[in-house]
Chain A
Amino acid sequence: MSQVSMTVNGKSASGEVEGRTLLVEFLRENLSLTGTHVGCDTSQCGACVVHVDGKAVKACTMFAAEAEGADVRTIEGMANDDGSLGTIQQAFQDHHGLQCGFCTPGMVMSAAALLSENPNPSEAEIRDYLEGNICRCTGYHNIIKAIMAAAGQDVSGIAAE
C-alpha cells in the first residue's frame, strides 16, 4: 500500500492504494464518487471517462498511482456552483440524451473534452469523438443533438428520434 494524493473536482484528495488500484476504484471506493461508472472494465465502453489534467481518459485503464499530483475532474464536478445542472448536463436532459443513464457520465465527460478542444463541432466530428463511448439505449441521435445544443447550435430542426 502506498499513499496517493491528487485534486478531484477542485478539492484535494488522498488515500492508501495498492499498485493495482485503478483510478476508477480510487474514485468510487476511496472517495465514494460513484458517478463515474464501470461498464465493461476493458476500456471499450467509455462509461468511466474522467478528465486527468484536462484530458479525457478511461479511468478503468489507468492506475490511481499514476494520477499522483494530477487535477482530476469527474461527473460530480460538472454541475454549476449552485448545484444546478451544467450546460452539457442540462442539454442532455432537454434533448433526451439518455434513457437508462448508465453511459451518461462518460458521455458528458467526453462531450466536455470535445467542446474544450472544438467549441463548435459538426455532427460528424461529434460522432467521431464519441467513438469510444458506447450507449445501448438511445441510438446516439439525441446524445449528438444534446451536444450540438450544448455548443450553442440551433437543433430545433432536428427531429426527435
Chain B
Amino acid sequence: MSVTAVSALPPELIYFSTRSGNTHRFIRKLDLPARRIPIEREAPTLAVTRPFILVTPTYGGGEAKGAVPAPVIRFLNEADNRALLVGVIAAGNTNFGAAYGLAGRIIAEKCGVPLLYRFELLGTDEDVTRVRKGVREFWTRPS
C-alpha cells in the first residue's frame, strides 16, 4: 500500500489484551484511536478498512509456539486485515529472556512489517511518550 494512503487518515491502533488488561492500560495511556480484538472465541473478529498498527502481548514461556495469542492469529488470518497491517508493537517481560516480546518478532517476520517497539507489562511513562510520538511521525513520514 502507498504511504499516501497511510497518512491520509489519523493513525489507528488495533490491539489485543487478555483479561489481565495490561496492554489495554497501555493503550488507554496512549490516548490514540484504538480498537480491541475480542477475547471470546465465539465473537467475530474485527474487520479493518484502513491501515493500522497492531499492539499485542506475548504469550507462553519462551517458545515460538503459542507466543502469538490465538485471537491475534485469527485476526491476522483474514487476508484483508493482514494487507492493512503496517507495523507491530509488542508487550512482554524481560524475565522471559530471549522471548521478550517474541509475538512482535514473529508477526513482523511473517507479515513483512517492522517491529516498531517493545514494552514491558503496562509500559512506563517513557514508553507512552515514545510510542505516541513515534506513531504520529511514522504515520506522516514522507515516502
- Chains A and B are bound partners: no
